Amino acid sequence: MSEIIVLTIGPIQNYIGQARRTQDLWQGSRILSYLAGAGVYHASQQASARVIYPIVESNQTDNIPNRIVVLWDGDGSGAQSCAEGMETAIRAAWQEVSKNTRDFFVDRLGERSLENVVGIWQPQVNAWLECYWVAVPYDAKLDYAVNLQAANNAMGARKLLRNFPPIQERGRKCSITGEHEALQDERGYVTFWEDQRANQKNLALLGKHKRLSAISTIKWFAHEEVPLGGDQWRPINPALAIQYRFPSTSSIAAVPFKCDVLEKLADNTVDERARQRLAEALEAYIESLLVAFENPVIPDP
């Protein structure tokens, strides 16, 4: 006897669609990929399981889709145990990312503040992750494609019966998701987030009106590092560390214009006086940027 297991995780569209920066878009996708990888790894360690999709390299944590297909060589109870183990591994990975990010975020808070933040944080984290799976008998007399279609049909039916865990989101909502309560302590939302802005090394990270839920905070801070002494730093979530800067959405939108400017400057067929005026305007623009960066206007906290 054999079974075919299909497992998916989410939410995908909302989590990715709620990105406000290119880095958020990347990190949201990467977190989901990392969680899917935990499920793939668990299945790959089972003697009776063969991961059909996706095929991943050892220790790979990115570029992993949210849908996993496993062929189980055994009865239905064994397949169910394997699927349950995959879900457990995925949820454990999510809780670990959550805890590491929460500990980093609230490191400077007092005990009362910590208690208030955790009281909002943990219910949101517990209710957010979606994980659905089905285990369907594999008919060896039929092609793999036919068996997979049967499993996909079963998954479609399962997802029609979505889980709706009860959760109350009181107070002001997250400025990113619009559905979760924003984090706060006993002093209230305004004072809490003013302090958080003042403590950030990147002044542009938290705008004046930013108030984040646990879900958004994880996406924004899961890549952060803590000092180990000297020039050594340790990522709070090693698999989610970011090694490079991301271009802003405005800079991406301006790429065609920048290319046109550079092409005109290099085009010898363009009138020399016009090219000279363009070069002077570009130099003046760069000089103004250098002045602005040397003397940034930092608003009072």
Residues 153 and 14 in one domain: yes
Residues 156 and 276 in one domain: no
What's the confidence (pLDDT) of residue 206? 77
Tally of structural domains, the chain: 2
| pLDDT of 204 above 70 | no
Residues 24 and 155 in one domain: yes
Q: How far apart are CA 277 and CA 58, in angstroms?
A: 55
Contacts of 224 (CB under 8 A, 6+ apart): 101, 104, 235, 236
Average pLDDT score over the chain: 88
Residue 205 lies in a domain: no
CB 137 within 8 A of CB 76: yes
What's the confidence (pLDDT) of residue 203? 58
Averaging pLDDT over each range in 106-120, 136-150, 204-218, 221-235, which range is the top one? 136-150
Residues 123 and 9 in one domain: yes
Query: What residue type is assigned to position 68 of the chain?
Result: I
Output the CA torsion 194→197→199→200 (10° steps).
170
Count of CB atoms situated within 10 Å of the CB of 280: 10
Answer with the one of 137, 160, 183 that is the final residue of a domain: 160
Residue 41 lies in a domain: yes
What's the confidence (pLDDT) of residue 196? 82
Please give the C-alpha separations between residue 55 and each of 14, 36, 59, 123, 132, in angstroms, as whole numbers. 26, 12, 12, 34, 20
> 27-31, 164-168, 223-227, 285-289: lowest mean pLDDT where?
164-168
Residues 138 and 259 in one domain: no
What's the confidence (pLDDT) of residue 154? 96
Q: What are phi and psi of 18, to 5 degrees?
A: -85, 5
* Residue range 76-80: mean pLDDT, rounded: 94
Residue 192 lies in a domain: no
What's the confidence (pLDDT) of residue 110? 66
What's the confidence (pLDDT) of residue 299? 47
Q: What is the CATH number of the domain that holds 141?
A: 3.30.70.2220
CB 30 within 8 A of CB 240: yes
Count of CB atoms situated within 10 Å of the CB of 23: 18
pLDDT, one tens digit per residue, over 277-289 is 999 999 998 888 8
What's the confidence (pLDDT) of residue 300? 46
What's the confidence (pLDDT) of residue 183? 92
Residue 144 lies in a domain: yes
Above pLDDT 90, what percent of the chain?
48
* Residue range 26-34: mean pLDDT, rounded: 93
Residue 220 lies in a domain: no
* Residue range 105-111: mean pLDDT, rounded: 74
What's the confidence (pLDDT) of residue 195? 83
Residues 15 and 155 in one domain: yes
Residues 15 and 136 in one domain: yes
Residue 275 lies in a domain: yes
* Residue range 22-41: mean pLDDT, rounded: 92
| pLDDT of 290 above 70 | yes
CB 66 within 8 A of CB 32: yes
What's the confidence (pLDDT) of residue 297? 53
More confident residue, 112 or 257: 257
The label of the residue with tokens 């659905």 reads 132
Above pLDDT 70, what percent of the chain?
95
Please give the C-alpha separations between residue 174 and each of 53, 100, 114, 132, 226, in angstroms, as whole numbers. 36, 21, 18, 26, 26
Which residues span the domain enclosing 148?
Answer: 2-160
Residues 155 and 265 in one domain: no
Residues 142 and 25 in one domain: yes
| pLDDT of 105 above 90 | no
User: pLDDT grade, residue 37 (50/70/90)?
Assistant: very high
Predicted TM-score of the model (pTM): 0.84
Residues 151 and 18 in one domain: yes
pLDDT, one tens digit per residue, over 225-236 is 988 877 888 999
Residues 281 and 149 in one domain: no
Residue 95 lies in a domain: yes
Residue 150 lies in a domain: yes
CB 238 within 8 A of CB 13: no
Q: How far apart are CA 224 and CA 193, in angstroms?
A: 18
Residues 17 and 140 in one domain: yes
More confident residue, 146 or 200: 146
